[in-house]
Amino acid sequence: MGDKSPITLFTDQDAAMAREIKKAFPTTRHRLCLWHLMQNANAVTRFGVLKSDATFKAAFNKCLSGCLNEVEFNACWEAMVTKYNLKEHKWFIRMYKLRYKWATALSMDFFSAGILSSQRSESSNNAVGFRPTKKTSLTEFYHIFQETIKRWRRTEDIDEFNTTKSIPTSHYPMTSLLKHAAQVYTHSLFRDFEEEFNLVVASQVQLIHTNGLKMIYRVYLEDRAGSAQSVMYDPPSEIIICPCKNFEESGWLCFHCIRVLHLHSVQKIPEKYISFRWTKFAKVEVWNKHEAQLKAKGLLNSFTPWRLHMLRKYYSLILKSHTIEEARKILEESFKKDSGAIQTIVTAASNNEQNTTNTTTENENFVQVLDPAHANTKGKSKKRIPWSYDNFNKGKRRKHREFGSKTPKHLFLFLSLYSILVIQFCNFVSILVTILSMKVTMTGGMTTCCFLVIDPIFMLCKADFTTIV
């Protein structure tokens, strides 16, 4: 992260992470995710019968993010635990000890960009667009992740183009402050500033004290209790301070400050209250600083203009000499001479660089990185996780059987019937041949003889089929 530790870091209530964050980032403000805190608080073991009490939930939510200062927070917390007999509750006692990690009223002096939970990482998990399972292969995840990255970059390019090439519009008349905000802020940040300006229109202001050139105003909303703040403004130095500390926490001015600036007809937002990270030029400036650092280290390729310039020179020289044989010979001879001299210089530089690399390699101590020890974590199954090929071939694979090892029942029945029919047919043919060889001249005698022969054959076939079935 550019050798810089984060200002604020959000996690859940994991004790191991809290210990490691304190060691790795001693200057970072560690805060607890309000979403995870609410999930833990909604458990039956935490609230009990109060889980369905709307009044208790409203008081608890106000302690989380509804108070504006420490005095108001302490008063609300004391009233809540007293009213619902929670002073001896272990979980609420532990939460009060950690109040500086989750109460917004006690963390307004640290920059957090208006984030109250680990919502960015949770939204990143959902942005991939699918829910992986144990059977999701690594190849499938890689392709889906690559498509997600392409979509993110395409969206970022579109937003970057719209931000740098256009100015957002507003539903309100474009006053001087709104015009300046539209010129310097990104489109998304301008919408946040516009919401604050919406509250400016509905707010009231009163001058309550003056101290030389410094003035203190009371700014409030008529229909919203607890919105009043005492704003100090110094016109010569353009210093404006509000106790709500919205600028310190989020990076843009609150409606209390904007109302006072609008009262004094200030045309532009003071430069000291424009957070550079929210401006249109933040990304360009970051790349400029990165290129300056690479150039200072000698890692930036700054030879492209020189190459183009020399290409144009030599191309012009070739165009002048390509129709004259003597000029072509001079150009070819000079190329051979210059090529040999340059090759000598390049070879010498290459040898020097290789010697330097070998010397550095000999002085380095290589650290062998081994695989971590295998650990059987809690709840981990020891069975092999099936993959997509197993699921694809499920129910289609048959066991190999040797010929004659086991004959299916239906095949045995078919072969038996077939053999009986063949035998009976042979018997019938032999009897028929015998009958035809007899010289019987009478029609009645022939008919009687045929019936006497066919009837026993039919009865025999019927008896054999019944026995088999």
How do residues 124-140 score in pLDDT, each as one tens digit? 556 666 666 777 788 88
* Calpha distance 72→272 (Å, rounded): 30
Which contacts qualify for 156-161: CB closer than 8 Å, 24 or more apart?
159/187, 160/283
- Asked whether the beta carbons of 80 and 86 are under 8 A apart, the reply is yes
Q: pLDDT grade, residue 260 (50/70/90)?
A: very high
Assess whether pLDDT exceeds 80 at residue 190.
Answer: yes
H runs (alpha helix) in 42-89 = 44-47, 54-61, 70-83
* Calpha distance 224→230 (Å, rounded): 16
Q: In whole angstroms, how far apart are CA 135 and each of 51, 254, 430, 453?
A: 38, 50, 68, 70
What share of the chain in percent tops pLDDT 90?
A: 7
Q: Is the model's pTM score more than 0.75?
A: no
Q: pLDDT grade, residue 261 (50/70/90)?
A: very high
C-alpha closest to that of 121 among 35, 16, 40: 35
Average pLDDT, the chain: 76
pLDDT of residue 232: 93
pLDDT of residue 393: 54
H runs (alpha helix) in 166-303 = 176-184, 187-202, 246-250, 255-263, 282-297
- Asked whether the beta carbons of 256 and 241 are under 8 A apart, the reply is no
Q: pLDDT grade, residue 299 (50/70/90)?
A: low
pLDDT of residue 460: 45
DSSP β-bridge partners for residue 214: 211
Q: pLDDT grade, residue 239 (50/70/90)?
A: very high
Decide which of 293 and 262 is more confident: 262
**Across 157-171, 220-234, 304-318, 397-411, least confident range:** 397-411
Q: pLDDT grade, residue 424 (50/70/90)?
A: confident
H runs (alpha helix) in 84-137 = 90-97, 99-102, 119-127
Assess whether pLDDT exceeds 50 at residue 458.
Answer: no
Assess whether pLDDT exceeds 70 at residue 46.
Answer: no
pLDDT of residue 370: 66
pLDDT of residue 123: 55
- Over residues 392-414, mean pLDDT: 51
Domain ranges of the chain: 8-127, 176-282, 303-333, 409-468
Which contacts qualify for 160-164: CB closer than 8 Å, 24 or more apart?
160/283, 162/187, 163/187, 163/280, 164/280
pLDDT of residue 217: 93
> Residue 30: enclosing H or E segment and its boundaries?
strand 29-32
pLDDT of residue 439: 47
Q: pLDDT grade, residue 374 (50/70/90)?
A: low
Q: In whole angstroms, how far apart are CA 453 and each of 204, 419, 436, 443?
A: 122, 21, 12, 16
Give the up-direction half-sphere exposure of residue 422: CA atoms within 13 A in the CB hemisphere: 6
pLDDT of residue 363: 54
* Calpha distance 41→80 (Å, rounded): 14
* Calpha distance 266→274 (Å, rounded): 14
Assess whether pLDDT exceeds 60 at residue 153.
Answer: yes
Beta strands in 202-315 (DSSP E): 203-211, 214-221, 229-234, 239-241
Which contacts qualify for 277-284: CB closer than 8 Å, 24 or more apart?
277/251, 278/185, 278/186, 278/189, 278/251, 278/252, 279/184, 279/185, 279/186, 280/163, 280/164, 280/184, 280/185, 280/186, 283/160
Assess whether pLDDT exceeds 80 at residue 231.
Answer: yes
Assess whether pLDDT exceeds 80 at residue 280.
Answer: yes
- In the block, tokens 């030879």 appear at 303
Q: pLDDT grade, residue 378 (50/70/90)?
A: low
Assess whether pLDDT exceeds 50 at residue 402.
Answer: no
Task: Tell me phi and psi for residue 76, to 5 degrees.
Answer: -70, -40
The pair of structure tokens assigned to 89 is 């509750």
**Chain centroid to CA 436:** 93
pLDDT of residue 258: 92
Tell me the three state secondary structure of residue 204.
strand
What residue type is 397 in one-letter code? R
**Across 27-36, 264-273, 294-303, 450-459, least confident range:** 450-459
* Calpha distance 63→75 (Å, rounded): 9
Number of residues assigned to the chain: 469
Q: In whole angstroms, how far apart are CA 295 and each of 1, 290, 298, 396?
A: 20, 9, 5, 63
- In the block, tokens 């959000």 appear at 10
- Over residues 300-307, mean pLDDT: 71
Decide which of 202 and 41 is more confident: 202
pLDDT of residue 37: 78
**Chain centroid to CA 99:** 30
- Asked whether the beta carbons of 253 and 200 are under 8 A apart, the reply is no
Q: pLDDT grade, residue 443 (50/70/90)?
A: very low
Assess whether pLDDT exceeds 50 at residue 450.
Answer: no
- In the block, tokens 């029945």 appear at 413
pLDDT of residue 288: 76
Decide which of 112 and 451 is more confident: 112
- Over residues 413-427, mean pLDDT: 75
- Over residues 413-440, mean pLDDT: 72
Assess whether pLDDT exceeds 70 at residue 172.
Answer: yes
Assess whether pLDDT exceeds 80 at residue 214.
Answer: yes
C-alpha closest to that of 453 among 440, 467, 466: 440
Decide which of 344 and 45 is more confident: 344
- Over residues 326-355, mean pLDDT: 86
